[in-house]
Amino acid sequence: MPNLAMSKIAIPNSAFRILAIGYLLVSAPIFTSSLDDALILEQGGEIPAARLRYAEWLESNRGDQEYTSVLFHLASLSDSARDALIVLNSHSGNLSPEQSALVLARMAALESLIGLPEEAARHYEMASNIDGRNGELYLLDSVKLKFVMGEFSLVRRVALKLANSARRPFVRDEATAIAALSLAHMGDGEGALAELKNYSSAPRTINSPYFWMVQLDIAQTYGYPSTEAISALTKNFKNSTIEHIARNRILSWDMPSALLDSEELRSR
């Protein structure tokens, strides 16, 4: 089934992981004068001492508007991704609901990155129940991870509901696609394609290439015509990786992280 539909759990190599962790955790922190000592220690290479000062500030400044920025910065100074998760979790009880949803989502993204899909799905789902504005995005991420874990019946049920309730068009597109993909994995490829065809035939614009990649993969896997998907992908995404995949110039797509064996990660 399709790589872009996350049929494999992606686990990053060391260099990619280091860059990605920094991207996920460093959230443009703004330092006030009370953090000057921590910043000076950090810039002087005294990282353990700096981490201690940042942690002390967090304990003394619960509810501060800079709290999550400082927390993400502290986590980014961790020696490993798992240590960063411990830092985030240890301070998660000090957050407002809005801050909590953001931290849970960052934890989920990091867990997904290092090959912990079950924990990531749980934290995305928790975030979706807290953040009304972005809840549908977090729920979609949770559903995709549960698909990776093979929970096709559950994924289909939740994705169908999300497809009907989401405000964002691309969330509806992707929820519809993953619901159909789950149906195909449950053995009904023809029914899955019929659902996608019915959705795309309505007077709407498909906003996500993921929808067409799922349709293309199901069609090719089960021996059905894939003209509609190829046409949409090559017309709407010219000179992109998406077009090259659709035209078989790229035969498959794996996340770079798939190159690392999961056993190497578990040993860290």
Q: What is the structure's pLDDT at 84?
A: 94
Lowest mean pLDDT among 128-142, 186-200, 213-227: 213-227
Q: What is the pLDDT of residue 128?
A: 95
Query: Percent of the chain having pLDDT more than 90?
Result: 49
Rounded CA-CA distance 90/73 in Å is 14
Radius of gyration of the chain (CA): 21
d(CA 101, CA 196): 32
Residue 254 has pLDDT above 80, yes or no: no
Domains and CATH numbers, the chain: 1-149 (1.25.40)
The H or E element containing residue 22 is helix 14-25
Q: Which residues contact 91 (CB under 8 A, 6 or more apart)?
A: 58, 71, 103
> Up-side HSE of residue 168: CA atoms within 13 Å toward CB?
15
* Helix 169-185 with 209-222: angle, nearest 10 deg: 20
**Residues 70-121: pLDDT tens digits?**
999 999 999 999 999 999 999 888 888 888 999 999 999 999 999 999 999 9
Q: Kindly report, residue by residue over 124-183, the tens digit of the pLDDT.
A: 999 999 988 899 999 999 999 999 999 999 999 999 999 999 999 999 999 999 999 999
Measured CA to CA, the distance from residue 14 to residue 257 in angstroms comes to 9
